[in-house]
Structure 1
Amino acid sequence: MNTIQSNIANLPTRYGKFKIKAYKQGTQEHLAIMSQDFETLESPYVRIHSECLTGDTLGSLKCDCQNQLDLSLKFIAQNGGLVIYHRQEGRNIGLVNKVNAYALQDQGRNTIEANLELGFKEDERDYSIVGHIFRDLDIKKLKLITNNPEKMQYVDSLGVEIIERIPAITKSNKYNEGYLSTKKNKMGHLL
């Protein structure tokens, strides 16, 4: 699939100053958010953050997405590296289906059961754009900020060396305890 990419631009934020570069693959657009010193780093810290409109933008308490994004942007601003904003909403089932999954969760299903009931796999994400971004930015080794073993396996499959895994652990609350339990017990997340 053809990938289109933008030039690099500056982005000052409340976390610090970053450089950004956008990538388009099919209809999905993704963002590389780099620390100012990114190009000088031999093994940058990297977070592959999957889009979550309800969490990242609206502050939903049903997940830990916004907290993980905040943690990662602060960490990258201070320590150098890259956040890939991977725009595949709701484990790539889309916003409408994610809201439908929320409705099923309101009736007692967990996130996996809801996705399966809607006719999807438990996780529909495609990480191929991440490989393209790594090649474009010449990343051969990194320190991966993740709890997700599938992301670690994907990075490893690219031949990119993971020097260290940094956990992205945030506080739970009464609304996301079941969600986090499902991630840990059913999806193998390292929480």
Structure 2
Amino acid sequence: MEKSNEAKLPTKYGNFTIKIYKQANQEHMVFMSENFHKLKTPNVRIHSECLTGDTFGSLKCDCQNQLSLAIKYIAKEGGMIIYHRQEGRNIGLLNKVNAYALQDLGRDTIEANLELGFEEDERDYSIVKEIFNDLKLKDIQLITNNPDKIAYVESLGVNIISRIPSIAPVNSYNNEYINVKKEHMGHLL
């Protein structure tokens, strides 16, 4: 693992500090409030990359809305976002678009991944352990709906003081996706 120095990043939400962690060919970003290092129990979101949602505003998911909610919350309350660069639950952008094409034919997000020869979720959270160790995180408030992320953080011996839900609006394009996350993946919605 390689890591960058910390650098200031002024944004429309406020002023932040960023740091990059590189693992294999993936570079993950940590986005911290200015007071992050002074917080006893920081708010933390592990946000999985979604180019179509985060950048282009896709309505097929709730990713951009969850990221925006987290940034605004971190700007106000302090903490950090780990921008986990594993696109499409780590199947990559090309395969994510192929999964979208299968969804256009009636598959749900899990069925599409399975039909393409992947597990329903291929993400590897091991970089999170490296980041938590580097930043000496022991007690956090975790911003998530994902029980797998909760279980992984707990497996690191990090104490989750509280879970902060990340509830984004549902629309006609992402309703099925949200239901699959809730009913089949156990998301706490």
Q: Please state which band the TM-score falls in when normalised by the shorter chain.
A: over 0.9
3-state SS, counterpart of residue 82 of structure 2:
strand
Count of matched residue pairs: 189
Displacement, 1:184?
0.2
Give the Cα separation in 1 of the matches to 2:21 and 2:28: 5
1:98 corresponding residue in structure 2: 96
1:76 corresponding residue in structure 2: 74
2:22 corresponding residue in structure 1: 24
Give the Cα separation in 1 of the matches to 2:7 and 2:48: 22
The one-letter code matched in structure 1 to 2:15 is K
Mapped pair 1:156 → 2:157:
no
3-state SS, counterpart of residue 90 of structure 1:
helix
2:31 corresponding residue in structure 1: 33
Could you state the TM-score of these two structures normalised by the residue count of structure 1? 0.99
Mapped pair 1:47 → 2:45:
yes
The one-letter code matched in structure 2 to 1:21 is K
Could you state the TM-score of these two structures normalised by the residue count of structure 2? 1.00
Give the Cα separation in 1 of the matches to 2:66 and 2:12: 16
1:10 corresponding residue in structure 2: 8
Give the Cα separation in 1 of the matches to 2:116 and 2:27: 25
1:67 corresponding residue in structure 2: 65
3-state SS, counterpart of residue 29 of structure 2:
strand
Displacement, 1:74?
0.4
Structure 2: segments with no counterpart, 5+ residues:
none
- The root-mean-square deviation of aligned C-alpha atoms, in Å, is 0.3
Mapped pair 1:171 → 2:169:
yes
Structure 1: segments with no counterpart, 5+ residues:
none
Flag as ranges the 4+ runs of structure 1 deviating above 3 A. Answer: none
Displacement, 1:160?
0.2
2:56 corresponding residue in structure 1: 58
Displacement, 1:47?
0.2
Give the Cα separation in 1 of the matches to 2:128 and 2:120: 20
Q: Deviations over 1:144-177 (max 9, x none)?
A: 0000000000000000000000000011000000
Identity in percent: 68
Q: Deviations over 1:17-58 (max 9, x none)?
A: 000000100000000000000000111000000000000000
